[in-house]
Amino acid sequence: MRNIALVDYLFLIVIICFSFDTVKAQNPVIFADVPDMSMIRVGDTYYMSSTTMHMSPGVPIMKSKDLVNWEMVNYAYNILDDVDDLNLANGKNTYGKGSWASCIRYHKGMFYVSTFAQTTNKNYIYKTRDIEKGPWETISFSPANHDHTIFFDDDGKIYIIWSVRKLRIAELKEDLSGIKEGTERVLIEDANAPVGKNVGLGEGSQLFKVNGKYYLFNIAWPRGGMRTVVIHRADRITGPWVGRVALQDKGIAQGGLIDTPDGHWFAYLFRDYGSVGRIPYMVPVKWEDGWPVLGIDGKVPDKLDLPASKGLIPGIVSPDGFSRRKGEADLPLVWQWNHNPDNRFWSVKERKGYLRLTTGRVDTLFTQARNTLTQRTFGPECYGATAVGFSKMKDGDFAGLVLLQRKFGQIGVKCENGQKFLVMVNAQSGLPVEADKIPISKKKVYLKATCDFRNLADSARFYYSLDGKSWNLFGSRLKMEYSMPHFMGYRFGLFNYATKNPGGYVDFDYFDIGIK
């Protein structure tokens, strides 16, 4: 078994740190898929929730002391719901759906995280007094309110704002179990948007109260233009509301306001950046005439007056040797399953120091197979690598390493008529095609995938090794593409599924991730 040596791990962190500015933070503050951020500050600690849709566990919670260096601390739920779409059962799936656009709030000692799901047509509100350890209480009600924000006002009333084109507002019941009857009404209409009519005003609603005034953040997308930040202001939550364009630069938009303990202000927003996904930016804010003014001369700066990044490892992604000390979780928080897992068919305990994936059923499509374990890719360049022992595969099984999106790429071992083959599958055309295939007689193989996101190159290559030292390029280049059906940046994944007979298994020795 290959363990991740401490010296290798420290060297990796040093290399990542060296690639970032040593004096100031740089935008994007996280070069990975962390979309639809919502953020709060409690004392000197910031907490952020985000969207991971069809992944489980879901609604990741991250914390930071400086708005730049973030670490995973929890999820709002283990599974969103127990339905066929989320379980990849009976031919169903929920790619691009699941839970969207969460909202995180802190009120009278309680943390609240709300989200909604097209999959179930429900709103979900999760509450806890300990956001890092839980437990969470779950409240849900129908119908789902698109891209909603919840807001606890000073008079004790609780509001929800949602929708697109016609922004709507209503009061929530005191126990958050639904909308108070008779309180729903239109708040702002698209026709009154400051950037023009019919611009899709409304996505990403987030409401804030500063010095007695209300500020509502949304996006608009003028035809032929870019994603734009729009802010409306009012003296009362009932209005009247006055709006203005707050930022139009590189399509960086959707988010809200956060302040620091020493009185500085920032906007947290994200940018669509090709196949790596939607990446977070921090934008300095100054106040003029009671309005937050975003950016420097209307532009998002590349450098920020914030501490330098220490890199993505171990905050958002991390290597894993699959060795667990007593009391440790079976999987670190950086891992998420593609849809709900079937916990009967994976283990890090059956063979110490390995992740065992056992096939539990027969599948004909990789994207319908359960128990693919994933981590984010990240930019500007990265790699993911693993070693897999495959002596216990059954005929028809396929196991290995994947770059997961609708147009996925795989490298792994297929068992066909008692013979093992190393195979690279390229689904760039929209259909999986075997781009390379060679027989393999070893019982273990090392696999690697590299990603180049520089200047939207969106290019991936695959490699194999028989000794873990000398790597061979294998198969064809994958032109990665951020597709709406999945609505998520590419992810590294470890997979094993059966096409003929369930019950075979493979053992993954480790997972490495780092700068290419």
DSSP string, 1-19: -----HHHHHHHHHHHHHT
User: 18 pLDDT band (50/70/90 cuts)?
Assistant: very low
Half-sphere exposure at residue 510, Cβ-oriented, CA atoms within 13 angstroms: 15
Q: Alpha-carbon distance 384 to 376, whole Å?
A: 10
475-493 pLDDT per residue, tens = 999 999 999 899 999 999 9
Contacts of 412 (CB under 8 A, 6+ apart): 388, 398, 399, 400, 401, 402, 422, 423, 447, 495
Alpha carbons 401 and 74: distance in angstroms, whole number: 26
Which candidate, 164, 101, 90, 88, places its Cα nearest to that of 371? 88
Q: Which residue has the higher pLDDT, 235 or 195?
A: 235
Mean of pLDDT values over 496-512: 98
Q: How many CA atoms lie within 13 A of 318 on its CB side?
A: 15
DSSP state of 171: E
Residue type at position 452: D
Q: Beta partners for 294? A: 285
Closest CA to 174 of 139, 206, 144: 139
**Quick one: pLDDT at residue 199?**
75
- pLDDT above 80: residue 9: no
pLDDT tens profile 374-383:
999 999 999 9
**Chain region(s) in the chain for CATH 2.60.120.200:** 336-514
CA–CA separation, 252 vs 294, rounded Å?
Answer: 11
Task: State the pLDDT confidence band at 222, using cuts at 50, 70 and 90.
Answer: confident
The DSSP bridge partners found for residue 45 are 42
Token pair listed for 367: 């994207």
> What would the 3-class secondary structure string for 301-326 be?
CCEECCCCCCCCCCCCCCCECCCCCC
Q: How many C-beta neighbours within 10 Å does residue 44 have?
A: 10
Residue (of 511, 514, 515) closest to 373 by Cα position: 511
Residue 267, strand partner residues: 257, 283
Q: Specify the pLDDT at position 191.
A: 62
Nearest to 185 by CA among 166, 206, 203, 198: 166
CA atoms within 13 A on the CB side of 324: 16
Note the pLDDT of residue 246.
96
Residue 145, pLDDT above cutoff 90? yes
At 130, phi and psi to the nearest 5?
A: -125, 95
pLDDT of 509 > 50? The answer is yes
In CATH, what number does 336-514 get?
2.60.120.200
- 190 pLDDT band (50/70/90 cuts)? confident
Encode 368-398: b = buried (16+ Cβ within 10 Å), e = exposed.
bbbbbbbbbbbbebbbbbbbbbbeebeebbb
Q: Is the pLDDT of residue 150 over 90?
A: yes
How many CB atoms within 10 Å of residue 43? Answer: 6
Average pLDDT over residues 44-73: 98
For residues 348-360, average pLDDT:
97
Q: State the span(s) of the chain assigned CATH 2.115.10.20.
A: 33-304
Model pLDDT, residue 197: 75
| pLDDT score recorded for residue 314 | 86
For residue 212, pLDDT beyond 90 = yes
Sheet of strand 99-107, all strands in order from the earlier edge strand to the far edge:
99-107, 110-117, 122-128, 137-141
Nearest-Å Rg of the Cα atoms of the chain is 23
Q: Which of 101-115, 178-192, 221-235 has the highest mean pLDDT?
A: 101-115
Q: What is the pLDDT of residue 165?
A: 85
Which of 34-38, 188-192, 360-364 is predicted least confidently? 188-192
Q: Band the pLDDT of 19: cuts 50, 70, 90.
A: very low
Q: What is the mean pLDDT of the chain?
A: 94
Is residue 13's pLDDT more than 70? Answer: no
Tell me which architecture the domain covering 33-304 has in CATH: 5 Propeller (2.115)
Q: What is the mean pLDDT of residues 190-196?
A: 74
Q: What is the pLDDT of residue 239?
A: 92
Q: Please report the pLDDT score of residue 516 as a whole number.
A: 87
Output the six-digit token pair for 467. 């000794």
Using pLDDT thresholds of 50, 70 and 90, give the confidence band for residue 422.
Answer: very high
What's the Cα-to-Cα distance from 371 to each of 111, 236, 446, rounded to whole Å? 31, 49, 20
Preceding amide of 307 cis, omega within 30: no
Q: What pTM does this model have?
A: 0.93
d(CA 358, CA 365): 17
Percent of the residues in the chain that have a pLDDT greater than 70, as a whole number: 95
pLDDT > 90? residue 153: yes
What's the rounded Cα separation, in Å, for the pair 222 and 251? 11
Query: Has residue 15 got a pLDDT over 70?
Result: no
Note the pLDDT of residue 367.
Answer: 97
What is the rounded distance in angstroms from the CA atom of residue 114 to the CA atom of residue 105? 9
Q: With cut-offs at 50, 70 and 90, classify the pLDDT of residue 193.
A: confident
Q: Tell me the pLDDT tens digit for each residue of 72-94.
A: 999 999 999 999 999 999 999 99
For tokens 């940018």, what's the residue?
Answer: 271
User: What is the torsion angle, in degrees rounded to the nearest 10, for the CA atoms of residue 474, residue 479, residue 481 and residue 486?
Assistant: -20
Q: Rounded to 5 degrees, what are φ and ψ at 83?
A: -135, 160
Query: 509 or 11: which carries more pLDDT confidence?
Result: 509
* Other beta carbons less than 10 A from residue 209's beta carbon: 13
Q: State the pLDDT at residue 23.
A: 66
Whole-angstrom distance, CA of residue 158 vs CA of residue 77: 23
